[in-house]
Chains A and B, each alone.
Chain A
Amino acid sequence: MAIPYYIFLIIYLLAVLIFFALSVINFYHIIRFGYFRFASVFITFLYLGAVVVIILLTLNSLSNIDWRTNIEFGNYEIIT
């Protein structure tokens, strides 16, 4: 049995998608109830900046990976 590396990338993308969905709900709250004053805009841009930095650092760290490599399971030799 073999599991390709890109499965982990798909799981990561799903986690990022959920993260963005929750972020959108937070942006909705700020726009709907938060008067959109300077502090709201400043903190929101700070938040978005930090998110971009984290994602770019992650992509940079994973740039050398060959995602088509497989992890092999079950290829054990029986020791007699």
Chain B
Amino acid sequence: MIGKRIFLFIIEALIPVVLFFALRNFTDWFSDDTGILYIIFVILSSVFYLYILLFLYQAWIDYILDLWILTNERIISIELHGLFKRTVSELRIHRIQDVSSEVHGFLPTIFKYGNVSVQTASGEDRFVLSQVPHPDEVARKIMALQEKYVEEIGLPHGEGFEIKKSNEKNEAKPV
């Protein structure tokens, strides 16, 4: 995601420069460096560059402040959405039914990042860890932790949700 934004930033950053040289060489709009068209162009270009930079910085902050904590009992996801929204979600590891990783697109393939989807048995929305580095490795680690946890409590694989349903206190205990 951040790689894609940097690539788009470079392309967008070239637009005013190309436009300036095209207008300067093929029209007489900028023949006078004190004319109103020149002023408007410089001001718009400056605002354009400042806000492109701001959005790039914002994207980087969004990326750097997204955090996933994987423990032997749960997955905690802390995500920043825009400037004023922050989400903290938590998934108990015994509820995991299926984990899949996805690397989609040219840049994710080059930079080795993608999404990891964690499916629970409850049929709720999938828990998605988006734009994580080495998603296949992360998916393997989550499955390994889930299997270890299930083995510890002595239940067949994939029946973790039954623990939650059958337990009144909603806690996984050894059977």
Contact = CB atoms under 8 A, between A and B. Distances in A.
Interface of A: 5, 8-9, 11-12, 15-16, 19, 22-23, 25-26, 29-30, 33-34, 39-40, 43, 47, 50-51, 54-55, 57-58, 61-62, 64-66, 69, 71
Nearest to A12: B43
A46 to B, nearest CB: 9
B54 to A, nearest CB: 6
Contact of B36 (A5, A15, A57): A5
A8 B39 contact: yes
A64 B58 contact: no
A61 B83 CA distance: 32
Interface stretch (B45-53, B109-117, B125-133): B45-53
B96 to A, nearest CB: 27
B47 A12 contact: yes
Contacts of A15: 47, 50
A73 to B, nearest CB: 12
Interface of B: 33-34, 36, 39-40, 42-43, 45-47, 49-51, 53-54, 57-58, 60-61, 64-65, 80, 83, 86
A20 to B, nearest CB: 9
Given A34-B65, A65-B39, 20 more contacts: A5-B39, A8-B40, A12-B46, A12-B47, A19-B51, A23-B54, A23-B57, A26-B54, A26-B61, A26-B83, A30-B61, A30-B65, A43-B60, A55-B46, A55-B50, A57-B46, A58-B46, A62-B43, A69-B34, A71-B36
A12 to B, nearest CB: 5
A9 B61 CA distance: 30
A44 B65 CA distance: 14
A5 B40 CA distance: 10
Contact of B43 (A8, A30, A40): A8
B122 to A, nearest CB: 30
Contact of A54 (B46, B60, B86): B46
